[in-house]
Structure 1
Amino acid sequence: MPVIIKQPKHPLAVVRVASGYSLRTYAEAVAERAAALGHGRMAYRREKVARWEAGVEPEKPAQFAMADLHGVDPDQVRARGWPNWLLLALPGPDVLAPFTPEVALSALDDLAADPALANGADIPLLPEPVLQALTTTWTEHVQDSIARGIQGGYVGVEVSSAIHARLTALWHLDDSLGGTACTTSARTDLKMVTKLLRHARHTGQLTTDLHFLAAEYARFLGWAEFDAGNTAKAQRAWHAALRASAEAADPAHSAYLLANLALACVYDEQSTIGADLLTSARDIAGTRTTPLVAAMIDTWRVRATASTGDAKQAARLLVQAETEYERARTGDENPDWAYWMCRPTHMAETGRAFLDLGGPATAESLLTDGLTALEPGAQRDRVLYLTWIATAQARRHDLDAAATTAVKAMDIAELVESGRCTSLLTDLADELQPHRAARPVAAVLDRLTSTAS
């Protein structure tokens, strides 16, 4: 199974390491630069830098010294605040740059570049204020685009149709093999779409469709990286996807990719920001989407809200999602990317929500029903269901059942490449550890340990 890359907790750690400094030498360099800028002599203990990377905001003179050290305009230090301005010291596009076609292409070029140039360990998670600002900026831009409308007619539709077919195949490959196996293909196809946008002659609907394809490939690449366990890389992809989506002016798809970003926040224990982003996604979709898509977003809101501990709101949202799902009709023009959506109570995230709310029996029942309804090829999701069913059984103290289910999950996990599954199985091992004295549990823990090593 793939190893999940452990992300640095603070952007300063990434900037410092990328610049070749240790804690001590960085403290010395900042102190020397502060003195050169006329801020006086600063203490340069390594512990000071360690505190900054742990979340303590440096005094402004120290920040100006750091900005000068890394070539960042001091006006950006004032405008963006700590630690957001540190993102300007990293390679790649400015996440908070204006939404324009050229910046979107630049972000897509950067995303599709050789992954060897962007090791996942060198990319920080985006701070919450940056995520919120990115969402706000995108929302304002896409609303303007929708108001202007889409100009022109279909040109070269056979090109976009062929690319759509390749994209559909990737979706199903991810279902079967997991995200890790799909990142290279997604990046290769994204390069092709970006070249078409930049160099081919296209107008009207074809231009819109190419921007949608770029947005969906970038969204999918983000999803694949998220499933591989690389949340920071996923955020980088979704940033580029939001920019391409703004050019396509497709509110339903834009809401979907924003929901992807939000769900990753929930997995990364940022439940409040995840819930807020999902609310924004639902508002953006509004009435301009189908009941099925609305049900999908609201089901993920159930998971996010449950993670914050709000049981009443989670229950209300689940009823709302079920109502929307019941409104769905066979003749609805659902987007192709919504192919995987099932009944809200059958979704794995719903079962996980009840685990978070302290209802393991309900969680097990919902997850078991969902597992029964799961498509045969959805092997990665099968691991999610089984892992959370085993967790529910362990919390009900049915250890024999938990051990049996865990073995099934591990057997299937060996067939997929998903860092997310690896992480969830590690969580399951932690759940079972207090029960190691039980013989079936001990055997499962031994296998989990040997697999992880």
Structure 2
Amino acid sequence: MDTEQRKRFGRYLARLRQGTRLSQRQLAERLCVITSTGSITRNEVSRWERGGRVPNSWLPALSTALGVSLSELERAAACARGEAAPDDLPNPAETLALLLPEDDPFGPLESSTGRRIGSSTVDSLAARAHGLRLADDVLTGGDLLGPALRELRAAVRLYRETSHTEEIGRALLTSIGELAQITGWVASDAGRHDSAERIYRLGLSAAREAGNHALAGHLAGSLAYQFSNTGHEDKGLSLARAALEESGEDAPGKARALFLNRVAWAHTKTSTTDAQPAMRALGEAHEALTEDNGEAPTWAYWVSPEELEVMDARVLTELRKPLRAVPLLTKVLDRYDVTRARELALYLSWLAVALIDANEPEEAARTVRRMLDLSADLTSKRTEARSRVVLAKLEPFREVPEVGEVLDAYAA
């Protein structure tokens, strides 16, 4: 059994306990109540947290006492026992519990200790954050989450364990916010929505402490987008509006266009009967993109007229206006970068739905086949969910030969 892995598990357990504001003695007492036994003591809890022993039989009770899922605890314990490779995809909850203290995630600047860092380190960290964004263009959540979490963990530790000027500290916090945004996005794509929310909130704290209002808006808007797509439409709309407001009217045009896009999508997911709020927000997004009010942040590199047209088409599809949606999507997809397989598959799924609504099942079937072939090897929960949507939309047209062939071929 790897001693370092046991110690890592112990630190993880201690962080979970501290997060519940329990002392070691109080945790021991709570475990005794949960299991109706008095056989656990503070000394045993201390031994777990020092890495002296892994609490195998106590994991269910610890799950209840600490408010963490049993599967997460079991996986962390398996790593500590050497039964799971530590280089496997790290558990997001474990990673965040390890890297964050229970009070202030970043601590005051004057508490930093250790080697002093300067602008070259900050530049390197910013470049790594952008490297992850570029990687997300061609990789999907299941492939990228492990590396992204490791980068985020390293960045927070760099901030906490080094000394630096106040200016460098703000730049570090900005990079942490950017890393949290892309890591949260990746976690959401991997279907880890609870973990993504925690990561987004970590980044939001960093961005606010850095005084970077546009980045704070980006993080809040990213979480709003997740809410809108996971059954929390009202929360998504409220947060999307708040993100736009937090970014400020002087935010760069590309950033404002992105935030307005998210407001439009949130309106659409909240109500498909009143199109005006969503269409108004889309119009404002196009206007914002033409504004020349400062250099766009690096994280907005992908925001373009073509991407806005895709969002226009998605909103129009949701609003059941396929005759307007199909031409837009067809024009964009005809020249879309084929290396961005996930986005291409997702956009094809919207085109398929619009074609079905336009009563073009044969063409929709061809589009669905292309979408499913493209996404077959992707580790993205987003494309999985859209696959189910388009197949369900095709089902009423099963008697059409082209549709029946697709449904039979991809029934699994």
1:184 equivalent to 2:159? Answer no
Counterpart of 2:358 in structure 1: which amino acid? R
| Length, aligned pairs only | 319
Specify whether residues 117 and 213 from structure 1 end up closer, same or farther in structure 2 by C-alpha distance, changes over 3 A only: closer
State whether structure 2 residue 146 is matched by structure 1 residue 171. Answer: no
Q: In structure 2, do the counterparts of structure 1 residues 189 and 355 end up closer, same or farther at CA, with 3 Å as the change threshold?
A: same
Task: Spell out the pairing of 1:3-402 with structure 2 (5 A cutoff).
Answer: 90-91=67-68, 115-116=90-91, 118=93, 156-309=118-271, 310-328=274-292, 332-343=294-305, 346-372=308-334, 374-402=336-364
Structure of greater relative contact order (alpha carbons < 8 Å, 6+ residues apart): 1
Q: One-letter code of the match for 2:260? A: D
The 2-side partners of 1:322 and 1:284 are apart by: 20
Name which of 421, 424, 446 aligns with 2:383: 421
Q: CA-to-partner distance for each residue in 1:160-213, whole Å, 9 max, x for gaps? A: 212222222211111112222111111111121112111111122211111111
Offset, 1:321: 1.1
Q: Secondary structure at the match of 1:327?
A: coil
Q: Is the 8 A contact 2:320 2:354 kept in 1?
A: no
For the structure 1 residues 438 and 379, does the alpha-carbon distance in structure 2 shift closer, same or farther, using more than 3 Å as the test?
same
Contact 2:261 2:308 in 1 (8 A): no
- Whether the aligned pair in 1 keeps the contact of 2:171 and 2:210 (CA below 8 Å) is yes
Distance 1:328 1:438, change over 3 A: farther
Structure 2 SS opposite 1:380: helix
- 2:371 aligned residue (395, 398, 409): 409
Q: 1:114 to 1:210 in 2, by over 3 A?
A: farther
Please report how far the alpha carbon of residue 347 of structure 1 lies from its aligned counterpart in structure 2 after TM superposition: 4.3
- Indicate conservation of the 8 Å contact 2:173/2:207, yes or no: yes
Q: What is the CA–CA distance in structure 2 between the aligned matches of 1:174 and 1:228, rounded to whole Å?
A: 12
- What is the rounded CA distance, in whole Å, between the counterparts of 1:346 and 1:252 in structure 2? 19
Find the aligned partners of 2:291 and 2:407 in 1 and give their Cα distance. Answer: 45
Structure 1 vs Structure 2: percent identity of aligned residues?
26
Alpha-carbon distance between aligned partners in 1 of 2:172 and 2:328, rounded to the nearest angstrom: 39
Residue 446 of structure 1, CA deviation:
2.4
- Aligned-partner residue type, residue 281 of structure 2: L
SS at match of 1:202: coil
Amino acid at match of 2:90: P
Residue 89 of structure 2 contacts residue 145 of structure 2 at CA under 8 Å; is this kept in 1? no
Check whether the contact 2:140–2:190 (CA below 8 A) recurs between aligned residues: yes
**Aligned equivalents of 2:374 and 2:307: distance in 1?**
23
Calculate the TM-score normalised by the size of structure 2. Answer: 0.71
Amino acid at match of 2:225: L
Closer/same/farther in 2, CA of residues 259 and 445 from structure 1, 3 Å limit? same
Shift in CA distance, 301/374, structure 1 to aligned 2, threshold 3 Å = farther
Distance 1:416 1:345 in 2: 21
| Counterpart contact for 1:302–1:318, Cα < 8 Å | yes
Structure 1 residue 346 displacement after superposition: 3.8
Cα RMSD after superposing both structures: 3.1
